[in-house]
Amino acid sequence: MRSIKLLSLCFFVLLSTTVVTAQDKAKQIEDLLNKYNEYGQFNGSALVAENGKIIFKKGFGSANMEWNIPNQPDTKFRLGSISKQFTALLIVKLAEEGKIKLDVPITTYLKDYPKENGDKITIHHLLTHTSGIPNYTNAPNFFKDKARNPYTPEDFVKTFSSLPLEFTPGEKFNYSNSGYFLLGYIIEKTTGKTYEQYLQEIIFTPLKMVNSGYDHSDVILKNRAAGYEKQGKKVVNAAYLDMSIPYAAGSLYSTVEDLYLWDQALYTNKLLSEKSRELLFKPYIKAWNGFYGYGWSTYEVPNGDKKLNVIEHGGGINGFNTIISRIPADKNLVVLLNNTGGTVLSEMNTAIRAILYNQSFNQPKKSLALDLLDIYAEKGALAGTEAYKKFKNDPTYAVKEGDMNRVGYQLLQDGKKKEAIEVFKINAETFPKSGNVYDSLGEAYLANGDKKLAIVNYKKSVELDPTNEAGKKVLAEISK
């Protein structure tokens, strides 16, 4: 009898310790995200699960700033490219059912696609961004000329299907929304249903993801977050985007709670067999800092003397920035959905992961870019650079690559070319191994009429990032 009481007591102590630890981690996560919110770097909703159990979920800032409506765990956000993992699962589901094959030319299912390119490209190439099809969102003046107009899938495919391939299919990775747009079109041609209908039938209804769907701007959608963009410290309404354009590459909306249901289903056979699920997460091709599967990227991070395999994907669309990050070995999950445009979600995700594994992490810092924009815009290049020299030694500030890039483009858009060049130069000095910062600097020099320095920086960009096909194209044109 005494031994049973002792065992019960031990179990109670162990259980209590586990609960306290989870509560402590939740408090650390809340403090972390509160600080990011205070610094204007997170305005959205977050959910964190450990060992498959939710330990934290909360909204930060406003879903609608005009009415001061707060973000909540059930607030609906546009997902951007997180949508790709849903499209990938639908394709693998069709393959599992024998309705399509992943290794045959896409012209097998798209009879109207130009055969010169279509006969060389497989569905596998589309899923892994190795098709060589130019990314339609990189087209010159895309957002100005096309993004606001409605298209049918058939008509929009025609806008890029006849373009020359950027490389031989299967040769390398180059992120392309065009490939995932085509996957949605293949789903429609194969099933006889709209992409939206098939998505609802195969994923959202079975998983009871009642707060997820294909977004339509004209539909009255309860608890929908408005999308905003930051211009320095100023916040403005995001530019309109017709949701027929992102389509199967980025038109879905969801909540952090529904994405938890999605995460949990990926550990089961509810949607796919184990063998088919493995196809989603295989490291097929080197990409970014890891590998790319089907709608998911994978990479490893250190954890003591071992390594953790991380499976995740981010998303960005007018007014929204998102990330879902999974560690299957421990059933850990981080979901961050933000409705003030681009922000440092990867930095937040890294810190939250450190909290989950009891590791040290960098505390949030103010983004220097947000203060610099106003100075460069109002007082000019010299004053902005002097302010940078002063601020950079302040330990409460940090130069954040994405923020600096956005500030540079804001200045460029406003016709302040010299100021934009100075901002991009700061970014290149701070992040000398990033191909993207040199690409931006090259673009600014080109806009300012300095072809010589534009060539120097575009060359540096493609040297650091061999997948920068757009940079290679510009470089070839201006080097003639």
- Note the pLDDT tens digit of each residue in 64-110: 999 999 999 999 999 999 999 999 999 999 999 999 999 999 999 99
| pLDDT tops 50 at residue 5 | no
End-to-end Cα spacing for the chain:
90
Q: Tell which residue, 423, 399, 425, 392, has the closest CA to residue 410.
A: 423
Residue 422, Cβ density class (10 Å: 0-12 exposed, 13-18 middle, ≥19 buried): buried
Q: In 3-state terms, what secondary structure has residue 316?
A: strand
Helix (H) or strand (E) holding 318: none
Residue with tokens 């989603």: 280
Positive or negative CA dihedral for 246, 248, 250, 253? Answer: positive
Question: Does residue 275 contact residue 95 with C-beta atoms inside 8 Å?
Answer: no
Render the burial of 154-191: b for 16+ CB within 10 Å, e for the rest: eebbeebbeeeebbebbebbbbbbbbbbbbbbbbbebb
- Pairwise pLDDT comparison (469 vs 128), residue with the higher score: 128
User: Using an 8 Å Cβ cutoff, are 365 and 39 in contact?
Assistant: yes
Assess whether pLDDT exceeds 50 at residue 156: yes
Kindly state the percentage of the chain with pLDDT values over 70: 96
What's the CA gap between 80 and 375, in Å, rounded?
32
Structure-token match 């798209």, residue found:
110
Cβ atoms of 77 and 225 within 8 Å: the answer is yes
| Whether residue 357 has pLDDT greater than 70 | yes
| DSSP three-state, residue 292 | strand
- Strand segments, DSSP code E, in 144-200 are none
Q: Please report the pLDDT score of residue 252 as a whole number.
A: 98
* Residue 12: per-residue pLDDT: 45
Contacts of 212 (CB under 8 A, 6+ apart): 76, 204, 252, 253, 254, 255, 258
Does 17 have pLDDT greater than 50? no
Question: Rounded to 5 degrees, what are φ and ψ at 46?
Answer: -135, 145
Which two tokens mark 18? Answer: 């586990």
- Residue 144: CB atoms within 10 A of its CB come to 9
413 vs 114, more confident: 114
- pLDDT, tens digit (0-9, with 9 covering 90-100), for 284-308: 999 988 999 999 999 999 998 899 9
Residue 231 predicted with pLDDT over 50: yes
Confidence of residue 19 (pLDDT cuts 50, 70, 90): low
Tell me if 250 sits within 8 A of 80, measured CB to CB. Answer: yes
Interhelix angle for 274-281 vs 83-96, to 10°?
140
Q: Which element (helix H / strand E) includes 304? A: none
Evaluate if residue 20 carries a pLDDT over 70.
no
Cα radius of gyration rounded to whole Å, the chain = 23
Query: Across the chain, what does the average pLDDT equal?
Result: 93
* Range 449-469 average pLDDT: 91
CB of 133 within 8 A of CB of 178? yes
- The residue behind tokens 């990227």 is 297
Structural domains in the chain, CATH included, are: 80-225+234-356 (3.40.710.10), 366-478 (1.25.40.10)
Asked if 405 and 461 count as a contact pair (C-beta separation under 8 A), the reply is no
The structure tokens listed for 424 are 């991009």
Strands (E) across 232-360 are located at 234-237, 252-254, 285-287, 290-292, 297-303, 306-317, 320-327, 332-338
Give 76's contacts (C-beta < 8 A, 6+ positions apart).
Answer: 211, 212, 221, 222, 223, 224, 225, 253, 254, 255
Q: Which two tokens stand for residue 448?
A: 């300012």
CA max distance for the chain? 90
Residue of 3 and 96 predicted with greater confidence: 96
Per-residue pLDDT, averaged over 455-461, amounts to 94
Neighbours of 235 (CB within 10 A): 16
Q: How far apart are CA 469 and CA 477, in angstroms?
A: 13
Q: What is the rounded distance in angstroms from the CA atom of residue 261 to the CA atom of residue 255?
A: 10
